[in-house]
Amino acid sequence: MANNSIVTHFLLMSFPEVQELQNIPFVVFLIIYLTALMWNLLIIAVVILNEHLHKPMHFFVLNLSVVDLGYISVTIPKVMANSIMKTRWILYSHCVAQLFFFVLFGASEFLLLTVMAYDRYVAICYPLHYEMMINRGSCIGMAGFAWMLGVLTATLYAGATFASPFCSNIIHQFFCEIPTLLMLSCSDMYLIEVGAIVLTGCLYFGCILFILITYVQIFKAVMRIPSAQGRQKAFSTCLPHLIVLSMFYFFGVFAYFRPTNRTPSQLDLVAAVAYCVVPPFLNPIIYSMRNKDIKGGMWKLIDWRYSSKTVFCFTYKSNFSR
């Protein structure tokens, strides 16, 4: 494209390049997406419908499931649509929206995981003051702060990324990603982008430092518990959060803190799929399998639906026989 031309759409990378194999990604992503959709919606329904789960920890798990739903829905449906329709185009406005919401949900998830670390810290280190420190108002305030900060981060990055003109409209990725879009920029003025990176970088480095300090204090408090059963119970309440947090960090580092090349590679696609798909796909499974309250709520919900269906069928047959 000419340097002065106006970009109205972008051309995304396809999975894979061989035309005869392009239906395979559609099937794989469809299975992953429907599974993630089912698990996250199930957790949301269980937490909302079960009064025994109206607790701060489960309130944050519910918010995390909402974030994961949005996180995976920003990219995967577009990939499936392009794959089934044999196209690679995405409109400029759709690309802006995709990048904005991807950063929004990613940043909100990181901040929610930070808030959840504080919740575990208070529960283990200050159990007698837990209900006073982590109440309904503070939960809504912390979750709202995470969402608002996510919106601010997404606005800064989307505005900085699309502030300069583009010399090309070929994105070497399957969705609109900040690093790949910056490679297409014609402008050498990166002050806005640098400012956004420095601002959010300081904030999120502070969150990482806070989480590390929090878990150091948690481990110290757990080791002071006299009984082995008490220590095991305390560790089990932190284990799902630690697994989700470690997984989120691992795939983020793998995707963004490795050497980047201007030439596309399969490793770029693997990294993008890893941090776009794996966390929202595995998070609800980890929390539902490791959290006894949520797992019990799921069984109650399933048992209630089965009992309701059985009663309905029995009533219908009785009325029909009359």
Q: What is the pLDDT of residue 242?
A: 87
Give yes or no for residue 96 having a pLDDT over 90: yes
Closest to 239 in 3D by CA, of 223, 219, 217, 209: 219
Q: What is the pLDDT of residue 318?
A: 47
Residue 3 domain-assigned (yes or no)? no
Residue 87 domain-assigned (yes or no)? yes
Residue 308 domain-assigned (yes or no)? no
Structure tokens at 163: 């502030």
Q: Where are the beta strands (DSSP E) in the chain?
A: 9-11, 89-91
The one-letter code for the residue type at 239 is: L
**Domain count along the chain:** 1
**pLDDT category of residue 304 using cuts at 50, 70 and 90:** low
Distance between CA 160 and CA 18 in Å, rounded? 35
Residue 299 domain-assigned (yes or no)? no
Distance between CA 307 and CA 141 in Å, rounded? 38
Residue 302 domain-assigned (yes or no)? no
Instruction: Please say whether the beta carbons of 264 and 12 come within 8 A.
Output: no
Instruction: Please say whether the beta carbons of 13 and 173 come within 8 A.
Output: yes
Q: Which domain holds residue 89?
A: 9-290
Residue 317 domain-assigned (yes or no)? no
Residue 258 domain-assigned (yes or no)? yes
Give yes or no for residue 316 having a pLDDT over 50: no
Residue 4 domain-assigned (yes or no)? no
Distance between CA 76 and CA 67 in Å, rounded? 15
pTM of the model: 0.84
Whichever domain contains 131, its CATH number is 1.20.1070.10
Give the list of residues 6+ apart from residue 76 with CB closer than 8 angstroms, or none: 29, 32, 33, 276, 277
Task: Give 152-193 pLDDT, tens digit per residue.
Answer: 989 988 888 888 788 888 888 888 888 788 778 777 655 666
Instruction: Please say whether the beta carbons of 17 and 179 come within 8 A.
Output: no
Closest to 239 in 3D by CA, of 298, 292, 299: 292
Give yes or no for residue 321 having a pLDDT over 50: no
Instruction: Please give the backbone phi and psi of residue 257, each rounded to the nearest 5 degrees, phi first.
Output: -110, 35
**pLDDT category of residue 273 using cuts at 50, 70 and 90:** confident
Distance between CA 12 and CA 177 in Å, rounded? 10
